[in-house]
């Protein structure tokens, strides 16, 4: 059983809002419509709208070297978390602070214009390459905030944000860090959009996770982080713990490059590992925040596993508000899981209307009061990776 790790702050930005509270309020009572974003390339036979973050919400701080959109999203979320916890640069200077950030694409796709010009025998400027080399998410974060602990960027496809939080919590438990900034960030890109379109799993309209008429996923962008703290840091800095990371589990199907195993054995194992490390049973979980992409394979397998492990437990999916934010998805869902625990309110699954054929369970469809002490958030990723986190509400 793992020692619980305190969470003292969160930050979040996505299509639902530019901070944690706005995102939560939108998911409880509002709606977000995907659109064909300006300045985005949509040359595909079937066009799919995306959940883009308005440019005016992006980070307005230092832009040298030129920041990628992924980094602007990440810094916006980190600044919110630091402000929320009242952690100043002076306080950070005396502590060992780590950075563990998940990203599926990160800065790796921002040199497309350079490549196009090079293929056309032109002489492109090197700014985009310089930006790429200087915008590794975790490294750039450590340099921006002068962090002196371990630094790791996790690139494990769509479970990256979940994995980064699990790894960050392990650094606290192993006494490698006093604080860890852990989460995920990913921006929209022409390349990832084209790749998902070629797989024929994108929807021409708003995604509808678990619905009988689902047509696929919409891509989105965003970032979210948690500030994880050791017991020592909580005491010495006078921090408030808002929740705890109880346990983390991860297992790989080794079945297919993009499709999950049809019976979900490693998703079950990841969830059970997270429960075991938390020292609790499945019936203590008050709700599940699911991956819920709106694709047939994901929804069918995930609902099958959830119904087996958590019969009768309410569950919800938030991608109808955010789109699939790839490496940021697990982190955004982790933040919303914690805020739901804090507030005793569970957001609906946007876009759901009717249970799919063959499914015996349905997600929450309206804002619902809950009295949960524990909650679980899971992620499924290309490459067959499955990860899960258990969170506990901080006692009053």
Would you kindly state where each structural domain of the chain is located, as residue ranges? 5-393
Does residue 41 register a pLDDT over 80? no
CA distances to 227, 329, 357 from 362, in Å: 33, 21, 11
Average pLDDT of span 203-223: 94
With tokens 């959009």, the residue in question is 193
Task: Kindly tell me the sign of the dihedral angle through the C-alpha atoms of 38, 20, 332, 108.
Answer: positive
- Residue 319 confidence (pLDDT): 97
pLDDT digits (tens, 9 = 90+) for 69-97: 899 999 999 999 999 999 988 888 889 99
In the set 12, 135, 158, 177, the catalytic residue is: 158
For residue 8, indicate whether it is catalytic. Answer: no
Q: What mean pLDDT do residues 102-125 have?
A: 81
Please give the model's pTM, rounded to 2 decimal places.
Answer: 0.95
Please state, in angstroms and rounded to a whole number, the distance separating the CA atoms of residues 215 and 75: 33
**pLDDT-based confidence at 395, cuts 50/70/90?**
confident
Does the pLDDT value for residue 22 go beyond 90? yes
Tell me the β-bridge partners of 17.
14
Catalytic (active site) residue 261: no
- Please give the C-alpha separations between residue 186 and each of 48, 302, 312, 318, 324, in angstroms, as whole numbers: 18, 23, 34, 17, 10
8 A C-beta contact, residue 191 and residue 34: no
Instruction: Give the C-alpha distances (Å, rounded to integers) separating 351 from 236, 304, 347.
Output: 45, 20, 12
Mean pLDDT confidence for 165-175:
98
Superfamily per CATH, domain 5-393 = Thiolase/Chalcone synthase (3.40.47.10)
Q: Which of 177, 251, 261, 291 is catalytic?
A: 291
From 12, 100, 135, 324, active-site residue: 324
pLDDT given at position 106: 73
The pLDDT value given to residue 5: 98
Our answer to whether residue 256 is catalytic in this structure is: no
Residue 116 reports pLDDT greater than 90: no
């Amino acid at each position: 059983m793992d020692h619980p790790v305190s969470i003292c702050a969160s930050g979040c930005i996505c299509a639902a809002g530019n901070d944690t509270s706005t995102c939560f309020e939108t998911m409880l009572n509002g709606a977000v419509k995907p659109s064909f974003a300006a300045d985005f390339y949509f040359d595909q036979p079937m066009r799919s709208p995306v959940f883009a973050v308005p440019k005016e919400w992006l980070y307005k701080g230092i832009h040298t070297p030129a920041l990628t959109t992924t980094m602007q999203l990440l810094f916006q979320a980190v600044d919110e978390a630091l402000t929320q916890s009242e952690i100043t640069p002076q306080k950070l200077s005396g502590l060992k602070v780590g950075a563990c950030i998940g990203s599926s694409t990160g800065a790796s796709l921002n040199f497309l214009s350079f490549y196009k010009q090079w293929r056309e025998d032109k002489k492109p400027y090197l700014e985009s390459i310089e930006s790429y080399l200087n915008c590794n998410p975790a490294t750039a974060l450590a340099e921006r905030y002068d962090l002196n602990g371990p630094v790791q960027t996790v690139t494990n496809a769509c479970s990256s944000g979940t994995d980064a939080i699990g790894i960050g919590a392990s650094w606290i438990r192993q006494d490698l860090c006093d604080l860890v900034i852990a989460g995920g960030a990913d921006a929209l890109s022409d390349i990832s959009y084209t790749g998902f379109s070629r797989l024929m799993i994108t929807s021409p309209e708003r995604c509808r996770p678990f619905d009988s008429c689902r047509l696929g996923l919409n891509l989105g962008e965003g970032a979210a982080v948690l500030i994880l703290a050791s017991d020592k840091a909580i005491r010495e800095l006078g921090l408030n713990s808002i929740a705890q990371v109880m346990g983390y589990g991860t297992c790989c199907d080794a079945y297919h490059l993009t499709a999950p195993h049809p019976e979900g054995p490693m998703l079950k194992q990841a969830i059970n590992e997270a429960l075991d490390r938390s020292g609790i049973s499945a019936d203590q979980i008050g709700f599940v925040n699911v991956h819920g992409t709106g694709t047939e394979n994901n929804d069918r397998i995930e609902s099958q596993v959830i119904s087996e492990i958590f019969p009768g437990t309410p569950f919800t999916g938030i991608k109808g508000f955010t789109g699939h934010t790839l490496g940021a998805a697990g982190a955004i869902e982790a933040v919303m899981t914690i805020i739901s625990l804090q507030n005793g309110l569970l957001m609906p699954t946007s876009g759901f209307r009717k249970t799919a054929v063959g499914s015996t369970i349905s997600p929450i469809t309206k804002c619902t009061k809950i009295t949960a002490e524990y909650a679980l958030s899971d992620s499924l990723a290309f490459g067959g990776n499955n990860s899960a986190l258990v969170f506990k509400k901080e006692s009053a």
